[in-house]
Structures are given as structure tokens and as C-alpha cells.
Amino acid sequence: MWVADNWKDYEVVDCSNGEKLERWGEYHLIRPDPQVIWRTERTRREWSRPNGHYHRSSRGGGEWEFFQLPEQWQIRYGELVFWLKPFSFKHTGLFPEQAVNWDWCSEKIRQAGHPVKVLNLFAYTGGATLAAAKAGAAVTHVDASKGMVSWAKENAKSSGLEQAPIRYLVDDCVKFVEREIRRGNHYDAIIMDPPSYGRGPKGEIWKIEDAIYSFVELCSQLLTEKPLFFLINSYTTGLQPAVLSYLLSTLVGKRFGGKVTAGEIGLPVRESGLVLPCGASGRWEGERNDRQTKI
């Protein structure tokens, strides 16, 4: 398992009976988590005195209950600064477990020995975008939500990356990739964090089980002759690490060689000392080379 254990401003304090108690900076939130099927005693006082508690509804969805929580606040990861705010369906605007992938991508970029162009698809509020830009890459950030792209720009500004070579696009990711292929554009690295289900700006339907194979196949056409890496994240139950490994081996590894690894990603839990599983990632990495890429 790949564990995001370099955080200082975030931690999973405890988890029990379908919920996790988290510290986001100086504030504590309780949110539901379907992975937490165990029932342990809740001894931490923060369980009864959180700053925010998302209550799941038996009819689906849910709602927040707040206790002295600001409308928005910031936390840091290294030199990156992120705005947080609780919004619909329990989210805060950041997936802390992805920090383990940010670190991996950043290291690959710094070690490349040449300018790197990165394409970040379903890019959300820009965690991977900012990590890649901070490491020195030129990044194309694509998401179907105008609000998420605006949020990513604010995070970039807070992180001192307002002038970094980041191109922000509000677009349907599939249609964008198809246009990039027609334009003849190429990228050294691709990051994608596709949703299980979603809609594009014009109502385009995305269902991951039906679309992911053909989409990865499409994206592979955007890779340069000697690409650096290809990263896929998944929170969909059916897309286990072995499935992601098979996808990348079949669609990227057979063409470019290199190495494929896949595994669960997780967060350490302070109270138990164990790791909370938070999804899966598949990583393809090419062989190191000294090719120079024009940006």
C-alpha cells in the first residue's frame, strides 16, 4: 500500500462505525467512510466536539452540521497551500491521500533531466497540477466543472504558482483529448482521476466501467515518443489495483516498455496506528532518457 504519511496539517485521528474523525489544520471534521466497517470505542473527545459533522441520510445524500467552523480555511502540504470548504456530498475540496501520488509525480519530473509537459484530466481543485508545476512541469489542467477550475486557480495563487505555466480548461475530458490528437499535441506525462459517474459541461455522460479502457487507449495517443509516466487514480470499487495494472500494461506498457505498478493508497490513523484504505492507483513509468522536449 502507498501511504500518504508526510502530512503535518492533516491527519485521520480515528475511525469507527462508518465514520472517520479528521483534523484539517486546527479544525476537526467527522465524515462518513464506507471502508470503515469496524466498531471500536470512540475515546477521543473530538468525536463529541467536532467543528463539522456530515450526517448521511437514509434516503441518500446527507447534510453538514457545523460548530464554529469558518466558511473556508487553508492547509499546507510542503510548499503547496490549499483552500478548503465543506460542500455537497461530504467533500472539502481536497483528497489528502493523493499526496502520495503528488510526491511520486514530483520526483519523476525533477529527475527527468528535460522540460516536462503534463496533462491532468478530471483535475478537480488542482492538487496534482500544483505538485507537478512546483516540480518544474508545464501543466494542462482540464475539468468539466467551472467552479473546480476556479478553485484550482485560487490554490495556485495561494501556493505562489499564479505565474506558473499552467493552462486551465473547462472542458469534457474525452472531447478535449480527441481534439488534442487532431491538433497533433503530445505530453510527456498524463494524470487522470476519473469519477465513477459524471456529466460534462454539455451533459455528456461518463460511466467509468464503460469508458475507462477506450479513454486510456485514446490518451495513450497523446504521449510523446519516450514518455515519463502515466498515472490513473480510482475510487470505484470494481477498478482494483490489478485492473489498473492490466490496463496500463496492455495500453501503455506494450507500446513503450517501462514498468507498471499498482496498489491501494491510504492514510495513517493516529489512534490505531493502522492504515485506512482510500482507493487505488496504477502507475506506469518509462525508462529515463535525456530527450529534450519543447514546451
pLDDT digits (tens, 9 = 90+) for 66-78: 999 999 999 999 9
Q: How confident is the model at residue 292 (pLDDT cuts 50, 70, 90)?
A: very low
Is residue 115 located within the same domain as residue 53?
no
Q: Can you give the CATH number for the domain in which 27 is found?
A: 2.60.40.1180
Q: Can you give the CATH number for the domain in which 150 is found?
A: 3.40.50.150
Is residue 146 located within the same domain as residue 258?
yes
Is 176 part of a structural domain of the chain? yes
Is residue 74 located within the same domain as residue 119?
no
Instruction: Select from 52, 84, 116 the last residue of a domain.
Output: 84
Is residue 256 located within the same domain as residue 221?
yes
Is 25 part of a structural domain of the chain? yes
What 3-state DSSP class applies to 22? strand
Residue 129 to residue 120: CA distance in whole angstroms: 7
Mean pLDDT computed over every residue of the chain: 93
Count of Cβ atoms closer than 10 Å to residue 142 Cβ: 24
What 3-state DSSP class applies to 147? helix
pLDDT tens for each residue of 142-173: 999 999 999 999 999 999 999 999 999 999 99
Q: Residue 201 pLDDT more than 70? A: no
Lowest mean pLDDT among 47-56, 91-100, 152-161, 189-198: 189-198
Is 48 part of a structural domain of the chain? yes
Chain center to CA of 161: 18
Please give the grid coordinates belonging to residue 120. Answer: 491532468
Nearest-5° Cα angle at 98, 261 to 49: 140
pLDDT tens for each residue of 114-129: 999 999 999 999 999 9
Is residue 113 located within the same domain as residue 243?
yes
What 3-state DSSP class applies to 154? helix
Residue 246 to residue 216: CA distance in whole angstroms: 12
Instruction: Select from 63, 84, 105 the last residue of a domain.
Output: 84
Is residue 189 located within the same domain as residue 134?
yes
Please give the grid coordinates belonging to residue 253. Answer: 506498457
pLDDT tens for each residue of 12-61: 999 999 999 999 999 999 999 999 999 999 999 999 999 999 998 877 78
Average pLDDT over residues 97-123: 98
Residue 246 to residue 238: CA distance in whole angstroms: 13
Domain that holds residue 186: 96-285
pLDDT at res. 200: 63
Is 293 part of a structural domain of the chain? no
Phi and psi at 235, nearest 5°, equal: -115, 10
Is 89 part of a structural domain of the chain? no
Is 294 part of a structural domain of the chain? no
Is residue 125 located within the same domain as residue 210?
yes
Q: Residue 207 pLDDT more than 90? A: no
Looking at the 3D structure of the chain, how many domains does it have? 2
Is residue 105 located within the same domain as residue 9?
no
Is residue 18 located within the same domain as residue 119?
no
Is 17 part of a structural domain of the chain? yes
pLDDT at res. 295: 37
Q: How confident is the model at residue 224 (pLDDT cuts 50, 70, 90)?
A: very high
